[in-house]
Amino acid sequence: MDAPISEFVLHRRVQFSETDASGLVHFTSFFKYVEEAEHAMWRAVGLSIFSRGAEVGWPRVSASFDFRRPLYFEDEFDVHLKVAALGSKTIRYAVELRKDDEVVAEGGVIIACTRREGGRLRATHIPPGIAARFAVARSS
């Protein structure tokens, strides 16, 4: 197995469907950008955050963004995703969206490892084979 991953960068361009009538990126798109980067990061370590019949799932239990500058249709930007904390049952990401090395938004997401028991989701320990693929990023 390769070294665990702690940071991932996804380069992207704003699509028209992600904007409002003025061409400004709608705030909900920022959360989709984070999820897209997260899924790419999981693929980079040979995993998928979702597979049919998987023993665990990964619902979001917290998500937030602070907006600094707008993004517009056709803007190119990078999503910087860091593993900020790796607990026994949760993973916390720190996120920055940058355009031309300037932070346009920053925030975080917490996902919980869950297992379905009796029709309900219950928090469970992250399987060792998954936890070993990630590492907490160094503070900058």
Give the pLDDT confidence of 24-62 residue by residue, as tens digits.
999 999 999 999 999 999 999 999 999 888 889 999 999
Inside any domain, residue 63: yes
Q: What is the rounded distance in angstroms from the CA atom of residue 59 to the CA atom of residue 7?
A: 20
Report if residue 26 sits inside a domain: yes
d(CA 40, CA 42) in angstroms, rounded, equals 5
* Catalytic annotation, pick one of 20, 66, 75, 101: 20
Q: What is the pLDDT of residue 89?
A: 98
Q: Which two tokens stand for residue 31?
A: 């959360």
- Domain range enclosing 106: 7-131
Strands, E, within 40-119: which ranges? 60-67, 76-86, 90-99, 102-112, 114-117
In this structure, is residue 138 part of a structural domain? no
Residue at 136 is within a domain: no
What pLDDT is attached to residue 55?
Answer: 87
Whole-angstrom distance, CA of residue 108 vs CA of residue 19: 22
What is the domain count for the chain?
A: 1
Q: Is 20 a catalytic residue?
A: yes
Flag whether pLDDT at 1 surpasses 70: no
Q: Does the residue 104 lie in any domain?
A: yes
119 within a domain of the structure (yes/no):
yes
Instruction: Dump pLDDT digits (tens) for 60-72.
Output: 999 999 999 999 9
Amino acid letter, residue 71: L
How much is the average pLDDT of 79-98?
Answer: 98
Report yes or no on 2 lying in a domain: no
CA dist., res. 15 & res. 109, Å (int): 23
Q: Is residue 99 part of a domain?
A: yes
CATH code of residue 70? 3.10.129.10
- Please name which of 8, 117, 134, 102 lies closest in space to residue 57, comparing C-alpha atoms: 117
| Amino acid letter, 104 | V
Mean pLDDT of 107-123: 93
pLDDT at 73: 96
pLDDT surpassing 80 at residue 137: yes
